[in-house]
């Protein structure tokens, strides 16, 4: 049965069907083979509906809506100007500013693709003018945007939390440490690149210009305060924080900055609705598929066949990293989380691994895969936005992928990089 389901999925993917079709087709075939027909098909439909029933998923469209409003408004530009005013003049400062801006915007949007658009569009021309190669610039934007998957809010963390039953608030807090670690690693590489290539520096901003840039960015900096401070302080649940972010984004862009008009609401709502529909269809179909493979005890058979159950905690973490990294090179990250998380659940439980640490590692691997050839989703976002050929976009990615893999290795060796803030925030 497993072989037939896998072959069906691969065949449909190669024929160009969207991911939801191979998933549901494989699930229906598995259901048919297990129950000798489709007479109880409503059971599978109920499982699919159960996948989108958790209240925590309400946060997903809200964060998507908030990100869409900010991307079309002035928030991203103000954050970029603030970062540039402080570090734009140091060696490699423009590249470091790009990485830092992606991190900051990730902290207010939670979307890697929104970050590629919001930060990459204004900063790529400036980096090219400053003397950075296009391959380095594109790779930096794509991979720095993936920090948005780790810095709260993170849609990937929400999906993992719903599937695994892990606290989304704890995942959000635990993602801060690894996100900042990756930012530091990227920054060191950017400085080294600028020194080796003799890239000229930007003019140094005066303290007056810096204070002005900070004053202009104070309102957008309220987003991470609402998300992290609200959850840490027990004021908001993650879902309530998402709703607060939407309200804050509307007030900011429509009332305070007046960067958007009432006429823009339709386009924003349409974009958010389309993205949300795709996400929720994938979640529903993925949950039905996961129920089929769990009911058939396929995860246990796979783990037993490869001997992961005897590998110990470190071995299980390494296997999880490899599986998610490779899968996200070919398949949409949300689908990978939906399909692979239940497969590894028995091994995670058997070895007593902290589900928050596992969630952070999975999120990191999803982020790496999203920017890794051949089919990382952020690669195609960059191709569409910057109108560059596929090979140009992926040419500069290997050093960044190496740094991200190194970050994953450090997380496995030193789990407190992720768990320290979680333990402080939620102790007692």
Which of helix, strand or coil describes residue 292? helix
Say if residue 177's pLDDT is above 60.
yes
- Where b means 16+ CB within 10 Å and e means fewer, 276-297 reads beebbbbbbbbbbbbbbbbebe
Contacts of 392 (CB under 8 A, 6+ apart): 134, 135, 138
Q: What is the predicted pLDDT for the residue at 428?
A: 55
183/385: higher pLDDT: 183
Least confident of 92-106, 112-126, 356-370: 112-126
In the predicted model, what is the mean pLDDT of the chain?
83
Say if residue 396's pLDDT is above 60.
yes
Q: What is the predicted pLDDT for the residue at 129?
A: 86
Q: What is the predicted pLDDT for the residue at 56?
A: 76
pLDDT, one tens digit per residue, over 188-199 is: 999 999 999 888
Give Dmax over CA atoms of the chain in angstroms. 75
Distance separating alpha carbons of residues 261 and 8, to the nearest angstrom: 48
Q: What is the predicted pLDDT for the residue at 300?
A: 63
DSSP 259: -
- Percentage of the chain surpassing pLDDT 70? 92
pLDDT, one tens digit per residue, over 44-59 is: 888 888 878 887 778 8
Say if residue 230's pLDDT is above 90.
no
């Amino acid at each position: 049965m497993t072989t037939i389901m896998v072959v069906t999925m691969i065949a449909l993917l190669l024929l160009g069907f969207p991911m939801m079709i191979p998933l549901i087709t494989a699930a229906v075939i598995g259901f048919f083979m297990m129950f000798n027909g489709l007479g109880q098909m409503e059971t599978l439909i109920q499982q699919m509906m159960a996948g989108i029933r958790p209240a925590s998923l309400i946060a997903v469209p809200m964060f998507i809506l908030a990100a869409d409003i900010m991307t079309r408004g002035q928030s991203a530009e103000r954050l970029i100007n603030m970062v540039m005013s402080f570090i734009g003049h140091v060696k490699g400062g423009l590249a470091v500013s790009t990485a830092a801006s992606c991190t900051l915007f990730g902290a207010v949007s939670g979307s890697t693709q929104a970050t590629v658009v919001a930060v990459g569009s204004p900063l790529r021309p400036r980096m090219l003018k400053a003397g950075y190669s296009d391959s380095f610039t594109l790779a930096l934007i794509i991979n720095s945007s993936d920090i948005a998957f780790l810095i709260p809010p993170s849609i990937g963390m929400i999906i993992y939390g719903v599937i695994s039953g892990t606290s989304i608030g704890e995942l959000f807090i635990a993602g801060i440490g690894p996100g900042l670690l990756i930012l530091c690693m990227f920054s060191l590489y950017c400085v080294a690149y600028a020194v080796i290539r003799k890239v000229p520096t930007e003019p140094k901003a005066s303290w007056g210009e810096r204070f002005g840039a900070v004053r202009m960015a104070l309102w957008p900096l309220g987003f991470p305060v609402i998300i992290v401070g609200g959850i840490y302080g027990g004021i908001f649940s993650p879902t309530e924080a998402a709703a607060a972010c939407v309200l804050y984004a509307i007030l900011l862009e429509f009332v305070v900055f007046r960067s958007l008009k009432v006429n823009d609401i339709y386009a924003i709502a349409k974009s958010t609705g389309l993205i949300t529909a795709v996400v929720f269809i994938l979640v529903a179909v993925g949950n039905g598929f996961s129920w089929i493979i769990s009911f058939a005890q396929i995860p246990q058979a796979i783990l037993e066949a490869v001997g992961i159950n005897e590998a110990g905690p470190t071995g299980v973490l390494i296997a999880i990293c490899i599986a998610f990294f490779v899968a996200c090179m070919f398949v949409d990250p949300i689908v990978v989380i939906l399909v692979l998380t239940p497969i590894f659940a028995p091994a995670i439980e058997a070895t007593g691994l902290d589900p928050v640490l596992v969630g952070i590692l999975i999120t990191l691997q999803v982020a790496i895969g999203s920017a890794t050839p051949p089919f990382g989703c952020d690669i195609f976002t960059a191709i569409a936005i910057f109108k560059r050929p596929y090979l140009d976009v992926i040419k500069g990615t290997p050093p960044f992928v190496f740094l991200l893999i190194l970050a994953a290795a450090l997380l496995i060796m030193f789990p407190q990089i992720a768990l320290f803030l979680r333990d402080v925030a939620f102790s007692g």
